[in-house]
Amino acid sequence: MSMTIPALRPSSLPRVDAQGLGALYDTHGRQLFRLAYRLLGTREDAEDVLHDVFVGLPEALAHYEERGRFDAWLRRVTVRVALMHQRTRKRRREARLDGAAAVPTSPGLTAEQIELQAAVNALPAELRSVLVLKEMEGYSHAEIATLLGISPVTARVRLFRAMRSLRQRLEDHQ
Amino acid sequence: MTSDLRMKLKELPAPEPSAELRDRIRASRVAGERVVFPADAKRSRVTIPRAAAAVIAFLALTSALYAWLAGRDRDVPSAASFFAGSLLWPTPALSQEVGADTVGRARYPLLDRVPARALPTGSWSYRATLTTDGLVTTEQGQRRFSIAQTTMHGVPAVAIVTNGTGRYAPEGFADSLVVSRDSLRLLRRSKRYGKYPGGGDFPATPPRYLSWRDADINWVGSVYRALFQLTPLTSSWRGSVYVPWIRYRDRVSALAIDLRVTGSERLTLPAGSYDTWVVSVRFRDREARVYVDKASGLVVKIAMPMGDDAVWEQVLTNAS
């Protein structure tokens, strides 16, 4: 079953019962999973985020006030949940002293793409978040600033650092 | 390369979620699991201005109270005290003693007087900037450094003057040192920071002469510029000095500064190209680099890291 919800008003949203939730998942699941995967770098973490987003969605929709596109709102929610997940994961990894970057495992990747994905995954979380949101997801610096609770200038600086680090790492591996 | 990298990032594929994720979500809902999302941005946008407004209101009240209290007694030291009174450097600094309130220890032999020789007259302009991560550059004001011949109480003298504006001194500042032309004996020091003047005349006895001991680390650095012009540098030149460091309104410490020529470099600046000595200036845990023109002894550039990701620079833009 496929369902498209372009800029629906809250009153026109489907009832979020089990069936409605499944419909929302079918419509937006892939896109949101890709977003979470890019932010977190592993399939497991991305699936955890997507699980939490859709499990929490019925209650969140009760308080949803439409200000723009529904899918944009859903993406913002996913980013926030992913960032929260990232912080929790960071604490866990620090405790385990396990800071190794995740190695991409997606089938069909070229050697160059594997290297690029590994380089992105190796970035510190605060840099990777800005890089993914700006360069891969198309958010503006102002939107990123709001999402991350930083200033737009800080977002620019982090993006600059991320790109510089990425280039250095890729050059080192050439 | 950047646009190419951006394109590759956009095209980077992501895997598909596993087939059982949909059922896992459904099962979690059926099992009664609930997730509360992090607070959304709309709420924090409201909270932050409220907190900021509270802080601003508190600061405004505190500031008003301070101004009222300060206004009751005009003898209360003002901000001018930070920059005035440079004639009265603390004894430990002048005598280069290590005391209880001395910060750091000198690494190299102590520097003292500079050779008494003619200072070239002229005027030089500098532009100050602060660059963060090589990305965001903010202007930090202009400086004009001048050396001119003058007389004081009938004594042929040289006036060494720096004035300009800064981000934190919109009303401008000036620092003047007058020394006798023949022996570089100190005659007068005067400073102005905004509307706050300070300074005075040096007594004739005992005489004091221009020395690295007078190179206070203030925000202007005019004495430094003159000292570098008078100090013959070589590739192995090094020396240390204890200078006064005004830490608080009523507290001045002696701070060890270590200077050493670390190399030479050819620089191209707005004012021209220069073969320079690179002088490392270390104090506490910080290090600035001063670039001194080999031919004239003129300081043509100063670079100082500010934290891990910013550099404050001052470069020569014009010489006349």
Domain B79-319: CATH class, spelled out: mainly beta
Flag if A34 and B14 touch (Cβ within 8 Å): yes
Interface residues from chain B to A (CB-CB < 8 Å)? 1-2, 5-6, 8-10, 12-18, 21-22, 24-26, 28-30, 33-38, 40-41, 44-45, 132-136, 309
Domain finish residue from A42, A72, A99: A99
Query: Are A131 and A155 in a shared domain?
Result: yes
Higher pLDDT, A165 or A60: A165
pLDDT in tens, B286-318: 788 999 999 999 999 999 887 667 788 889 999
Mean predicted confidence (pLDDT) in A159-169 = 90
Flag if A33 and B309 touch (Cβ within 8 Å): no
Query: Are A12 and A90 in a shared domain?
Result: yes
Query: Are A137 and A75 in a shared domain?
Result: no
Nearest-CA distance B279 → chain A (Å): 29
Interacting residues of B217 by C-beta distance below 8 A, sequence separation 6+? B243, B245, B255, B257, B283
Nearest-CA distance A4 → chain B (Å): 18
Domain assignment of residue A138, given as a range: 104-174
pLDDT computed for residue A24 by the predictor: 85
Tell me the CATH number at A90.
1.10.1740.10
ipTM above 0.90, yes or no: no
Helices within B11-40 (DSSP H only):
21-30
pLDDT computed for residue A87 by the predictor: 77
Flag if A167 and B1 touch (Cβ within 8 Å): yes
Tell me the CATH number at A120.
1.10.10.10
Mean predicted confidence (pLDDT) in A17-28 = 81
Higher pLDDT, A99 or B129: B129
Mean predicted confidence (pLDDT) in B38-57 = 56
The yes-or-no verdict on residue B50 having pLDDT over 70 is no
Q: How many domains does chain A have?
A: 2
Q: Which of B5, B132, B134 is nearest residue A166 as measured by Cβ atoms?
A: B5
Q: What's the whole-number average pLDDT of chain B? A: 77
**B24 interaction partners in chain A (CB closer than 8 Å):** 51
* Cα angle value A129/A135/A137 (rounded, 5°): 75
pLDDT computed for residue A90 by the predictor: 60
For the whole model, what pTM was predicted?
0.49
pLDDT computed for residue B156 by the predictor: 94
pLDDT computed for residue B82 by the predictor: 34
pLDDT computed for residue B290 by the predictor: 92
The yes-or-no verdict on residue B137 having pLDDT over 70 is yes
Query: Are A10 and A39 in a shared domain?
Result: yes
Nearest partner of A76 among A88, A89, A66, judged by Cα: A66
DSSP category for residue B295: T
Mean predicted confidence (pLDDT) in B12-37 = 80
Q: Which of A28-42, A83-97, B144-158, B162-176 has the lowest mean pLDDT?
A: A83-97
Q: How far apart are CA A90 and CA B212, in angstroms?
A: 51
- The amino acid sitting at B1 is M
